[in-house]
Amino acid sequence: MQATSIFEPVQERLQDVGESLKGMAADRFPYLATLLDHIFATPGKRVRPALTLLASNFHDHDERITHAMATAVELLHIATLIHDDTVDDSDLRRGRATVSNLWGGNAAVLVGDYLFAASATFVCDTVDVRVIKRFAETIMKLSAGELQEMSVSFSPDQSMEMYLDRIYNKTASLFTTAGESGALLSGASDADVRALKDYSCNLGMAFQIVDDILDIDGTEEEIGKPVGNDLLHGIITLPTLLAMRRHPQSTLISDFFRNKEDTSLLQEAISLIRDASVIEEAYQVAKEYSSKSLEALSTIPANPSRDALEELVGYVTIRRT
Amino acid sequence: MQATSIFEPVQERLQDVGESLKGMAADRFPYLATLLDHIFATPGKRVRPALTLLASNFHDHDERITHAMATAVELLHIATLIHDDTVDDSDLRRGRATVSNLWGGNAAVLVGDYLFAASATFVCDTVDVRVIKRFAETIMKLSAGELQEMSVSFSPDQSMEMYLDRIYNKTASLFTTAGESGALLSGASDADVRALKDYSCNLGMAFQIVDDILDIDGTEEEIGKPVGNDLLHGIITLPTLLAMRRHPQSTLISDFFRNKEDTSLLQEAISLIRDASVIEEAYQVAKEYSSKSLEALSTIPANPSRDALEELVGYVTIRRT
């Protein structure tokens, strides 16, 4: 199953979002235009703007407003990826060279800033100060989540609560804002806004948990980066937490954190975590979130967009990329 | 003359801005709180928030609105400094260790993002979408200005137009937004808004030109960084442009750009630029902007805040730090 086929009810509008993004390179000075062309050349999965557009599809409304919001949401996501790749010193993103790889970390920091700001100008076109402020607060959460992750990297002493709080900040917060703002800006009732917000938040949690599972359980080809990349960077995610809980006597993870260069320790740690029953347990946690996501949808009127949102939950949980 | 004595009419309100900034560290997780405490420990000159508050002082208005704006403006300035220091790999800022120096470039990128977003939440408290959008566009200009600077670094072939466009983006754009928004949010007439915007824009241009002069003509003690720091980073500013115009046959600058490690070439280039008549000519350009700044003020009603804005022009031009 492809995300693109799920997004059928908003396919054209997602293409318009892509066009708005590509249009940003026009009239910029050559260096910036080159950077922007590279950045917008490969379309992502577009899950977040699809969420905004699908969540807006339950009420007639001025579609220019939700177009602006969906564009803002995708642009914000792209800006965060550029800074994340810079911070992680990643050379590749979905098999393509990153901005920091091609133009250096400094250009990546500045063009990321530029895109953060550009996303804010799009959100201003919604002319809804509540939504604009929520958007700015979401940027704070995204960077706080990354800072939380960095502050405990290579520290083996972490709790499930810390992990869940962090993935809410770094991922689910933007999913929440994407879905909630789509509902709000289309004029949905308070109850529907709440339901679509809950749906999106739980979807975002499931999405990040599956991401964290794939990091250890996927193949390098599927995930486009080395298997165990999180652990290599000292980041403890759900599968690692569950493996540590299962093997309370094992010092493998903390041994590796103390000897970061020891690749055989890393491989042993990966094997410990990659255990089928650990992975199964991690998927169970993801499924608890996706069930909550589906439950939240139950009060929303049935239409093709609700069907798509339902399918999206399934896709997020079984995807391999 | 100290900037602080000029700001007398808004001194208390500037202190409130400082308190709002310091308050941001409360209730944050320990790592982020530590970063924020460091960042807000040393007050800057507060020129930009003073501009907002002084420009708002010609009409009775809800001061909570202009307080939010002034706080946003200062916070945005602080966020840009953190990213600039990261990009330039600067160890010190006004004699104090930078965030990137103490916590590394990655933390600096992320906490900078956090502060950009936080500044946007403050500007949302103005509840004025025009002003909020202008603010986001300003962040785009600030980062575009830095990208322009980076894209032509170590290239000796630069025009005055490029330089002026760049310093507008990287500095005068925020001065413009600071002053204009203070006027707008206080309910000033269109003519007064235009006048205070013009005042602020020209002040910003003069401010950056003097900054660029001090970089080459100041002492290390005055400017808190090595003399000729811009040239060392391959950045051509007004004094260098004027010196190159005066010595069209000299290849000193391009020789140094081709041999960046050659400190004796750098010292020779600094001597060439530091020539008294070059510096005098550069100050003349700054003074043209400051004269335009004063002219713009002439239509504004006289009051202590107008006096302060007048004095500020003088301060910006003669300051040594």
User: For residue A151, which residues of chain B lie inside 8 Å, CB to CB?
Assistant: 29-32
Domain A3-318 has CATH 3.40.50.800: no
Question: What is the Rg, in whole angstroms, of the alpha carbon atoms belonging to chain B?
Answer: 20
Chain A, nearest residue to B109 by Cα? A109
Give yes or no for residue B1 having a pLDDT over 60.
no
User: For residue B140, which residues of chain A lie inside 8 Å, CB to CB?
Assistant: 114, 117-118, 121
Chain B, nearest residue to A130 by Cα? B124
Q: How far apart are CA B320 and CA B3, in angstroms?
A: 12
* The predicted structure's pLDDT at residue B90: 85
Three-state SS for A203-222 is HHHHHHHHHHHHHHHCCHHH
- Cβ of residue A32 closer than 8 Å to a chain B Cβ: yes
Q: Which two tokens stand for residue B23?
A: 């308050």
Residue showing tokens 């980076």: B150
Reduce the DSSP state of residue A92 to 3 states and report it: strand
Average pLDDT, whole number, for chain B? 95
Beta bridge partners of A93: A96
Give yes or no for residue B93 having a pLDDT over 90.
no
Could you write out the DSSP letters of every residue in B178-196? HHHHHHHHTT--HHHHHHH
What's the pLDDT band for B95 if we cut at 50, 70, 90? confident
Q: Which helix (H) or strand (E) holds B56?
A: none
* pLDDT, block means (10 residues), chain A with 321 residues: 83 96 92 95 89 97 98 98 91 87 94 97 97 97 96 95 97 98 98 98 98 94 86 96 96 95 95 96 97 97 97 90 76
- Cβ of residue B147 closer than 8 Å to a chain A Cβ: yes
Residues A137, B117: C-beta atoms closer than 8 Å: yes
Q: Which two tokens stand for residue B2?
A: 């100290």
Question: What is the Rg, in whole angstroms, of the alpha carbon atoms belonging to chain A?
Answer: 20
Q: Which of B76, B103, B122, B143 has the most A C-beta neighbours within 10 Å, making it the best mutation to test the interface with A?
A: B143
* The predicted structure's pLDDT at residue B96: 86
- Cβ of residue B29 closer than 8 Å to a chain A Cβ: yes
- Cβ of residue A143 closer than 8 Å to a chain B Cβ: yes
**Hey, which residues 106-125 in chain A have their CB within 8 Å of chain B?**
106-107, 109-114, 116-118, 120-121, 124-125
Residues B107, A150: C-beta atoms closer than 8 Å: yes
* The predicted structure's pLDDT at residue A301: 94
Q: Which two tokens stand for residue B165?
A: 């466009």
* The predicted structure's pLDDT at residue A226: 84
User: For residue A147, which residues of chain B lie inside 8 Å, CB to CB?
Assistant: 31-32, 35, 107, 110-111, 114
Nearest-neighbour CA in chain B from A143: distance (Å): 5
Task: Dump strand ranges (E) for chain B.
Answer: 92-93, 96-97
* The predicted structure's pLDDT at residue B74: 98
Residues B110, A29: C-beta atoms closer than 8 Å: no
Residues A151, B31: C-beta atoms closer than 8 Å: yes
- Over residues B288-292, the mean pLDDT reads 98
- Over residues B3-14, the mean pLDDT reads 91
Tell me if A48 sits within 8 A of A77, measured CB to CB. yes
**Hey, which residues 162-201 in chain A have their CB within 8 Å of chain B?**
none
Nearest-neighbour CA in chain B from A258: distance (Å): 20
For B191-239, write each residue's pLDDT tens digit: 999 999 999 999 999 999 999 999 999 988 888 778 899 999 999 999 9
Q: Give the residue extent of every domain in chain B.
A: 3-136+148-315
**Hey, which residues 201-220 in chain B have their CB within 8 Å of chain A?**
none
Strand A96-97 with A92-93, pairing: antiparallel
Q: Which of B132, B177, B235 has the most A C-beta neighbours within 10 Å, making it the best mutation to test the interface with A?
A: B132
- Cβ of residue A103 closer than 8 Å to a chain B Cβ: no
Q: Which of A24, A106, A134, A149 has the most B C-beta neighbours within 10 Å, making it the best mutation to test the interface with B?
A: A106
What's the pLDDT band for B27 if we cut at 50, 70, 90? confident
pTM: 0.95
* The predicted structure's pLDDT at residue B5: 87
Nearest-neighbour CA in chain B from A32: distance (Å): 7
- Label residue A245 exposed, middle or buried (CB < 10 Å: 0-12, 13-18, 19+): exposed
Residues A114, B140: C-beta atoms closer than 8 Å: yes
- For B3-136+148-315, which CATH superfamily applies? Farnesyl Diphosphate Synthase (1.10.600.10)
Residue B88: CB atoms within 10 Å: 18
Nearest of B78, B291, B72 to residue B182 by alpha carbon:
B72
Chain A, nearest residue to B29 by Cα? A148
- Over residues B275-295, the mean pLDDT reads 97
Residues B114, A150: C-beta atoms closer than 8 Å: no
Reduce the DSSP state of residue B159 to 3 states and report it: coil
- Cβ of residue B102 closer than 8 Å to a chain A Cβ: no
Q: How large is the ipTM? A: 0.94
- Over residues B15-34, the mean pLDDT reads 94
